[in-house]
């Protein structure tokens, strides 16, 4: 079959949840040999569409056709049998298993021995190596997946998907945890796969990536198809208009001001082989950004400040008094909280309700005599929903049902209920749409106005330029520089990070 003959279509696809129409009679066509960007703000219907293609969710009405033939996708196994594979934003490798075992998970080749079957390890490693070689990926197939960096794990996820020889490959925010040079290598790999006739669906919130990788742009809004345009027509203004139907604030507001009163001092903080001699001062109400490439030590620094990871030497002072971060519980009691980069596994309990997650860190404040009631908790949650603008159809439903942007707001709400003095925010806008990002920016500014200090780690340098009073640049575990956004340019910040 020639690459161009692969065609994935939907006809009047519809999916409803209680109180919400997730997809409203969506009819689409994706051709093989091309990379199709799928855009839309949180709640637009992208995730629902991908879940239907992946067999994880079934549509209420409408049809799906692959190469003109109607297909019935009742499970992820059905989707794989039909040649539809997905690489999700949250990686799903088994850390303790080797690269080869992850690529061929559930399908390890076997050979006869005695009266039974045993795993044929030589064949397992050979098959996995052949898949990686075909993709041009250089990774030792015997290495444990947990020992790989995020970019390499992403490549293994793609290799695992490609091991099914799919006609359709869907990627959800594949660069959200990648540095610039790692993203460029991923783009090269995706172009190679598209050149083989694979239908590529590429979901991203990073508009700057679109012209680097996509051939077409398809936009959903509120469950409806807004349209599909060629990349030549996809100007930033056009895309934003299709996604929101309104202008989106993108410039730095004039009221971002610096503060003077110090609240926290970090002196020569060091953790061997992770970061060293970190020294800076955080002021009351200040929004302090930390920029740097992946592996520079940004996340590890925040975790140590929160007491989640130890440090080997150096001092941390709050209001001039030395404290020794020993646990998150201790640091929470001192008013320091952390919104982690991996909100799904480290910031929320996915099986619990939105109500339970919002109240989890502040039960001692909500309870009376060691007991709490749902009525008390609902009052807290209702206040958070109003103040932070959390969109949640049912506070008793699992928090996993919320969009990425609303899950991030739940993490922030959880900590705000503890009355923090300092919020550590690690990639707070990762995987959320433009509108949700602007809401998160405004929330951070509101915290600043209330005198709450924030340290923000972000791979999106434009975001740091928009919201921060100061930006520290980390490189190879050290502070390599400092800049003031209102006196500098984005180009200069990029240069400092890349030097």
Check residue 130 and give its pLDDT. 92
Check: CB of residue 227 under 8 Å from CB of residue 385.
no
Check: CB of residue 51 under 8 Å from CB of residue 57.
yes
According to DSSP, residue 345 is labeled I
Exposure on the CB side of residue 233, measured as CA atoms within 13 A: 9
**Measured between alpha carbons, how far is 300 from 313 in angstroms, rounded to an integer?**
14
Check residue 247 and give its pLDDT. 45
Q: Cβ neighbours of residue 106 under 8 Å, at least 6 residues apart?
A: none
Check residue 241 and give its pLDDT. 83
**Measured between alpha carbons, how far is 315 from 278 in angstroms, rounded to an integer?**
10
C-alpha pair distances (Å), 429 with each of 69, 175, 230, 457:
40, 13, 27, 10
Domains of the chain plus CATH, in order, are 3-244 (3.40.50.300), 262-335+420-498 (3.40.50.300), 351-403+410-417 (no CATH)
Low-confidence ranges of the chain (pLDDT < 70): 1-5, 42, 89-90, 176-180, 246-259, 294, 498-499
Check residue 288 and give its pLDDT. 95
**Measured between alpha carbons, how far is 455 from 281 in angstroms, rounded to an integer?**
11
3-state secondary structure 202-258: EECCCHHHHHHHCCEEEEEECCEEEEEEEHHHCCHHHHHHHHHCCCCCCCCCCCCCC
**Measured between alpha carbons, how far is 241 from 131 in angstroms, rounded to an integer?**
41
Check residue 248 and give its pLDDT. 46
Check residue 432 and give its pLDDT. 75
Check residue 165 and give its pLDDT. 85
Query: Scanning the structure block, which residue is given the tokens 């098959």?
Result: 127
Query: Scanning the structure block, which residue is given the tokens 């040649």?
Result: 83
In degrees, rounded to 5, the angle at the alpha carbon of residue 412 between the alpha carbons of residues 371 and 387 is 85
């Amino acid at each position: 079959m020639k690459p161009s003959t692969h065609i994935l279509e939907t006809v009047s696809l519809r999916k409803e949840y209680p109180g919400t129409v997730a997809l409203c009679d969506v009819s689409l066509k994706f051709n093989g040999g091309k990379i199709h960007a799928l855009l839309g703000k949180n709640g637009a219907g992208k995730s629902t569409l991908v879940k239907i293609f992946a067999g994880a969710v079934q549509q209420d009405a409408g049809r799906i056709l692959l190469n003109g033939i109607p297909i019935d996708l009742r499970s992820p196994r059905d989707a794989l049998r039909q040649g539809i594979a997905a690489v999700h934003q949250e990686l799903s490798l088994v850390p303790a298993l080797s690269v080869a075992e992850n690529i061929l998970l559930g399908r390890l080749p076997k050979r006869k021995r005695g009266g039974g079957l045993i795993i044929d390890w030589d064949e397992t490693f050979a098959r996995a190596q052949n898949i990686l070689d075909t993709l041009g990926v250089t990774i030792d197939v015997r290495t444990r997946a947990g020992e790989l960096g995020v970019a390499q794990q992403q490549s293994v996820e793609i290799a695992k998907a490609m091991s099914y020889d799919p006609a359709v490959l869907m990627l959800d925010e594949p660069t959200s945890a990648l540095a610039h040079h790692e993203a460029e290598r991923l783009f090269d790999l995706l172009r190679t796969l598209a050149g083989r006739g694979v239908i590529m669906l590429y979901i991203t919130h990073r508009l700057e990536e679109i012209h680097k990788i996509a051939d077409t742009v398809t936009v959903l809004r509120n469950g409806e198809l807004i349209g599909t345009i060629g990349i030549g027509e996809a100007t930033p203004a056009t895309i934003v208009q299709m996604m929101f139907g309104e202008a989106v604030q993108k410039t730095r507001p004039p009221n971002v001001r610096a503060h003077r009163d110090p609240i926290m001092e970090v002196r020569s903080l060091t953790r061997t082989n992770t970061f060293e001699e970190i020294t800076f001062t955080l002021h009351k109400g200040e929004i302090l950004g930390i920029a740097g490439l992946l592996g520079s030590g940004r996340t590890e620094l925040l975790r140590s400040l929160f007491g989640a990871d130890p440090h080997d030497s150096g001092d941390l002072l709050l209001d001039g008094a030395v404290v020794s971060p020993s646990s998150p519980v201790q640091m929470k009691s001192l008013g320091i909280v952390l919104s982690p980069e991996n909100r799904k596994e480290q910031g929320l309990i996915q099986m619990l309700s939105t109500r339970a997650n919002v109240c989890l860190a502040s039960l001692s404040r909500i309870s009376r005599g060691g007991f709490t009631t749902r009525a008390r908790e609902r009052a807290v949650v209702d206040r958070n929903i109003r103040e932070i603008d959390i969109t949640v159809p049912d506070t008793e439903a699992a928090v996993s049902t919320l969009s990425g942007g609303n899950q991030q707001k739940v993490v922030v709400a959880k900590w705000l209920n503890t009355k923090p003095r300092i919020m550590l925010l690690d990639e707070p806008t990762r995987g959320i749409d433009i509108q949700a990002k602007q809401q998160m920016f405004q929330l951070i500014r509101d915290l600043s106005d209330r005198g709450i200090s924030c340290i923000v780690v972000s791979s999106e340098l434009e975001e740091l330029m928009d919201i921060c009073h100061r930006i520290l640049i980390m490189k190879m575990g050290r502070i390599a520089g400092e800049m003031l956004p209102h006196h500098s340019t984005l180009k200069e910040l990029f240069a400092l990070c890349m030097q």
